[in-house]
Every structure is written in C-alpha cells, then in structure tokens.
Structure 1
Amino acid sequence: MPSDELLTAFIDGELNAAESDRIEKLIASDAHVAGRFDFLSRSDLPFREAFEPVLASAPSAKLDAMLASIPSAVEQKRAASGISRRGFLSAIAACLVVGVAIDRAAIGISHRLSRPEEGSDWRAVVAEYLSLYTPDTLSSPAGNHAEQAAQLNEVGSKLGLTLTPEAVALPGIEFKRAQLLNYDSKPLAQIAYLDPESGPMALCIIPSTKGASAPDMENRRGMNVVYWSNATHAFMLIGHLPIDRMKALADGVRGSLAV
C-alpha cells in the first residue's frame, strides 16, 4: 500500500513518469489501493474554513507589499508550474514563520508546525492492526458483566489503571473484548468494540511520560482517530464513525477514565 503522501503526490502530478506508472498499475490491480486513491481524490476536507482565521488576521498590506516585490521571472515560473495542495500548506507555514497572528482556532495547526508530533508511531501501528479487522473478527460473544470486568481488571492492572465496563462503555456500541498487546516493550491495552453501522472500533491505552495533552484528531488508514494523554498514559479512540461522533464518544470515555 503506497503512503498517503505518495498517493497525494500522484494525484497532484508531482511524480516522475516511472513512479507515476507504478502507482497507476497498483491502482488498477489492487482494490485496497484503488479505494484509498478514490478517497484521497475526492477529499473534501474544509481547508478554506480551517484557515479562515489565519487569513482574516493576516497583515494584508504588508503581505501585498512583499508579494509585489517578488521578481517577475519568479512569479512567471510559479504561475506556469501551479500550486499543489502541499504547496498551499507550505505557504501557510511560511506565513506563520514571518509572524502572521493566529486565531485561537488555528493554535493546533501552529503547534504541529513548531515541533514533531509526540507518540504518533504507536497510533500508526494500532491503525494498521485495526485496519485488518472485520465484523467477523469480533463476532464472538463478549461475555457477561462479570467476565468483562475480569478482562478489564487484568488489562488495567498491567497499566496501573482502574478499568471497568462502565468506565469504558460507549453508548450504542457493543463492548467485545479487552486484551493486552505489546508495543516497544510497553504494555498496550486494546479495548475492542463493534458498532452495528460502522464496524470495528477500539480504545487503546499505553503508558506515557510525555505529559498531559488535550484531545486532537487525525485520520489513519481511512479511520478517524481522537487521541489525548494525561500525566501517565496516552489514549486513542479509533473507528470508522464520522469525526464529530468520534469526538463525542472520546469526550465521554475521557471523562469516565478521569474519575
């Protein structure tokens, strides 16, 4: 499976002929690659809405003067080559570097540009693992309340957390199992659920010393992810539900686990 970055470069016409031909053959022969290509091709992410606070607060007069000073040859070259989506994001980053004031709604974007994400590797591994799940993977009965409590207690004891069926319950979504995995020599808890409409979901927890961070969102392997951390653990909720629904579910379980 080519990376999203490589597929995006293909969509934007930024690959050389040989690499472009290779991706075309993969799309034609692999249904998973074709599906991901189709998803990225019709992406309707609200870029304009996301960056409106930045644009609204930008020092327009100063930027206009800067643009006017660009040599005409450079401007002609830029116009001939066009601007890809990645070029657009690079331009936004450049504006931040030269001191564009950012509205509170864009603080998260500035944070990502200022330093690499912490702890993203484990989320990538979880997403890859969960992408292999189907509803049949979680078709076994979840057991009664006592059996669920025993599973969660065993997993929680390895993480130094108190986990109960009530604390990890997701409204309208069936708890299926709790199991302990291993990532980078650390225990990783996976609490799996089965949503009747969107399929497998998981709440995953791993010890962390990075400190507390507020909830943030991303998309991995075609699934929506909400992730956050406290002083001792990092959490992620991942599934196929729309991101606003995922955020609401994450807020609920985050509040329960904080009690």
Structure 2
Amino acid sequence: MSTKHTIPSDEELTAFIDGELTAEEAASIQTMVEKDESVAERLEFLARASLPFKQAFAPLLSEAPREKLETMLAAIPAQPSARLASTPAFASRRGFLGALAASLVAGIAIDRAVIGIGKGFSAKDENSEWRAVVADYISLYTPETLAGPVPGREDQAAQLGPLDEKLGLSLSPEAVSLPGIDFKRALLLQYDGKPLAQVAYLDPETGPMALCIVRSDAVPKSPDLESRKGMNVVYWSNGTHAFMLIGHATADRMTAIAEGVRGKVAV
C-alpha cells in the first residue's frame, strides 16, 4: 500500500471509491486526500467519471479468446485484499479492467460502449470534462484495436446513420473522411446522458485517431489545441455541438486535419 510519501495510483483510488480496501488502507488514502490537493482532485475526477466498463464491454469479453485471456491474467501478481475469497473474478472494476486490457492487447475490436460522467458540472467545466473522459477512453486504443479492412462506403454510411439521427447531424462518409487516414468505424456512445458520436480512424503514420461530437449549447468557439494523455486534441464548437479531433499526430498536422473536416461536417 502507498505510504504518506507516495501518491496513490488510479487503481488504488478506484478501489477506495469502490470500498475494496482494508480499513488501514482506506484510512491512509483518506489522510492523503485531506492533506494533498492533487490527490483530492484526482479522487474527485475518478469518482465523477464512474465509467460503467463492465456493462459496456460485456459483448467484448464474451468474444475474447478465453484461453489467451486467462493466461495473461494469470501472469498478473495477486494483491492482498480485504474482499471475500468467494468474490467473482470480474466483480470489481480492477478485475474487469485487467480483462479489458488483455482483450485490447489481443486486438479485439470494441463495437459499442457507453461513456457516463456524473452530474453537477457547470457549463464552463463540461466542455473540458468531456474531452478528458474521451481522452482517457481513446488512450486505450492501439493500432491492433482498429486492425482489419476499411469498410466500404455503404457500410460507412450505415454506421453513420444512427449518429445523424441521435445528434441531429448530417454525416456522410465524404464529410468525415480524413486525407491519407483510414476510416475504421463509427460508434454511438453516451456522455452525461447525451449521445456522443465517435468516428475512429487508423493513421498509418501515428496510429489511432478519432473525431468525437456531442450536443452542446456552449457559445461557438474557434478551434483550439491542447494535449491530453500524450495525444494532441483540436476542439471547437458551433453553438449546437462540440467537436474534438484527437490523435498522436503532431500539433500542426492535427490542426490542418481538423480544419479540413470542420469545413465538411454540417449540422
């Protein structure tokens, strides 16, 4: 367990939130939360994010190669825990995240997921928070996650259709195409009770990239640039929707790509 000189990991903070620590471990983290503002802020973010991983990725786990998955999980050292021995292997978020990570390494495609975040943010914080949550999610992607053939135009249009309906958009394959970057899939997710569109791409040079869109009543904003989870993010809004393009390409290249797609995506 972490000492008072060591900042607790996200895994430990998540276990604290879920009530999975011993009384001594929980008391130690509580002390750090009270004394260290950075620990308190990280705990609050993880508590508000509350991603329903287990429900969202249940289809993924059912399709995972069980033998390889079990072998990989068996290699993870066991940690002391206050939980009962009869607790199911995937009952905790930590156990499930281990399975999810193994599935991603095995190259299993994620077909549909839900991103939920707690209520209570101000309008000002919302735009920043949704980008933070999406960045955490996209950081799980590897080139293997998006491996496979590029869907044909008809398949792309079929995937984009539900996004149009839920978000009031007009997204054609041509509108979301990125120069020199392969379209891989379009997903309908959810953020703070609102539909969120994600179009995932695979850049041959830098790996996974995604265009994400959510309804927003924030004032229109010109494109801006930030860095999250080691990736560059270009974000903007038009008064009805907020947009973000996230990927590992250089800031200049991401800005140029975003400018191109911004002019084609119509509402």
Q: Deviations over 1:121-166 (max 9, x none)?
A: 0000100000000011111323211110111122121100000111
Residue 190 of structure 1: aligned partner:
198
The equivalences for 1:231-250 within 5 A come to: 231-250=239-258
Provide the C-alpha distance between the structure 2 equivalents of 1:116 and 1:183, rounded to a whole number of angstroms.
16
1:200 and 1:174 mapped to 2: Cα distance?
A: 10
> Structure 1 CA distance, aligned partners of 2:143 and 2:126?
31
Give unmatched runs, 5+ long, in structure 1. 1-16, 27-114
C-alpha distance in 2 between matches for 1:181 and 1:117? 20
- Larger % of helix: which? 1
In the aligned structure 2, how far is the partner of 1:254 from the partner of 1:131? 23
1:204 is matched with which residue: 198, 202, 212? 212
State the shift of 1:193 in Å: 0.2
The answer to whether the Cα contact below 8 Å between 1:142 and 1:148 also exists between their aligned partners in 2 is no
How far residue 190 of structure 1 moved from its aligned partner, in angstroms, is: 0.5
1:177 is matched with 185
How many angstroms apart in 1 are the aligned matches of 2:192 and 2:157? Answer: 27
The aligned amino acid for 1:240 is H
Q: Is 1:225–2:221 an aligned residue pair?
A: no
Supply the distance in 2 between the matched residues of 1:201 and 1:249 (Cα, whole angstroms): 11
Which structure has more RCO (C-alpha within 8 Å, separation ≥ 6)?
2
Secondary structure at 1:256 match in 2: coil
**Shift >2 Å, 4+ stretches:** 115-118
State the Cα deviation string for residues 167-221 of structure 1 (Å, max 9, x = none): 0111000000000001100000000000011100000000000121111110000
Match of 2:178, SS state, is coil
Identity, in percent, stands at 63
In the alignment, the residues of structure 2 paired with residue 215 and residue 121 of structure 1 have an alpha-carbon distance, to the nearest angstrom, of: 17
Identify the match of residue 153 of structure 2 among 142, 145, 152: 145
**CA displacement, residues 77-132 of structure 1 (integer Å, 9 cap, x when unaligned):** xxxxxxxxxxxxxxxxxxxxxxxxxxxxxxxxxxxxxx965510000010000000
TM-score, normalized by length of structure 2?
0.54
Any conservation in 1 of the 2:210–2:245 contact (CA below 8 Å)? yes
Unaligned runs of 5+ in 2: 10-122
CA–CA distance in structure 1, aligned partners of residues 124 and 186 of structure 2 = 31
Task: State how far apart, in whole Å, the 2-side matches of 1:184 and 1:172 are.
Answer: 33
The correspondence for 1:123, drawn from 116, 122, 131, is: 131
Q: Give the distance between the partners of 1:137 and 1:156, measured in 2 at CA.
A: 25
SS state at 1:167 partner = helix
Amino acid at match of 1:139: A
Structure possessing the higher radius of gyration over alpha carbons:
1
- 3-state SS, counterpart of residue 219 of structure 2: coil
Structure 1 residue 249, shift from structure 2 partner? 0.3
Measure the CA separation in 1 of the matches of 2:126 and 2:161. Answer: 28
- State the superposition RMSD in angstroms: 2.1
Number of aligned positions between the proteins: 152
**AA at the equivalent of 2:165:** S
CA distance in 2, matches of 1:163, 1:258: 7
1:255 partnered with 2:263 = yes
Please say if residues 217 and 225 of structure 1, whose CA atoms lie closer than 8 Å, have aligned partners that are also in contact. Answer: yes
Alpha-carbon distance in 2 for matches of 1:183, 1:198: 27
Q: Specify the SS of the correspondent of 1:170.
A: coil
